[in-house]
Amino acid sequence: MFKKAICGAALALCSVSAFAETTTRWFTYTGMQEYFGGMSVWYPDVTLKGMFSGEDLNGNNILEQDELTHLELEGVNFANPRCGGYDCWISRFSFSGGNNLDFYSGYSARSYHESVHVGSKEGYTRYFDHEPYVHYYGFTLGTTFSITAVPEPSSYLMLGAGLVGIGALARRNKRRSAATQA
């Protein structure tokens, strides 16, 4: 009886933690058109990688900018206004599942007058205060986008509880079959 109560409490704890889950996703854009110094070249292997995290606080199944806790691109967390000595900003963000990601963010470096703007529909642009002034990687029809979910700790907890339960059932069945054969 005591074992059943402990198992029931463990499963209930796992299910309660699933209600307040944080959404975390990794995303990658692969293949971009580069515009630099008046030239344009297609690079199929150039990638832009990032991740985001947040919690859908209003329950509308859309992760919006005010619910975002982390937006990282190439190692810079744009959700932090002072990200690594830069002035960072996010002007729009929404994720409604699947491949429906929309964002626009950037940072400015005061010391050497550089700014970077990244948008899910616009591409990746780096502005300089000297020649060639702009370095731009644009998303084209050839650009592929992938997004993957990051398993949450509660998912691993549920998996562990399930495996322990299966092991306990197998052990109990083995003991019962040994007792009936004796």
How many beta carbons lie within 10 A of that of residue 35, not counting itself?
Answer: 17
List per-residue pLDDT tens for the chain, 182 residues long.
666 666 566 555 555 444 447 889 999 999 999 887 778 999 999 898 999 999 999 999 999 999 999 999 878 888 887 777 778 889 889 999 888 888 888 888 765 556 778 888 878 887 766 665 677 888 888 899 999 887 656 666 666 777 777 877 777 777 777 777 76
Specify whether the CB–CB gap between 56 and 67 falls below 8 A: yes
d(CA 107, CA 82): 9
C-alpha count within 13 angstroms, C-beta hemisphere, residue 121: 8
The tokens 């949450």 sit on which residue? Answer: 152
Domains of the chain, residue spans: 1-21+152-182, 22-151
d(CA 180, CA 182): 6
pLDDT at 152: 59
pLDDT at 25: 93
Backbone angles phi, psi at 12, to 5 degrees: -65, -40
Quick one: CA dihedral 136, 137, 141, 147, positive or negative? negative
The answer to pTM > 0.85 is no
> Helix, strand, or coil here: 168?
helix
Q: Any residues with CB less than 8 A from the CB of 15 and at least 6 apart, and which? A: none
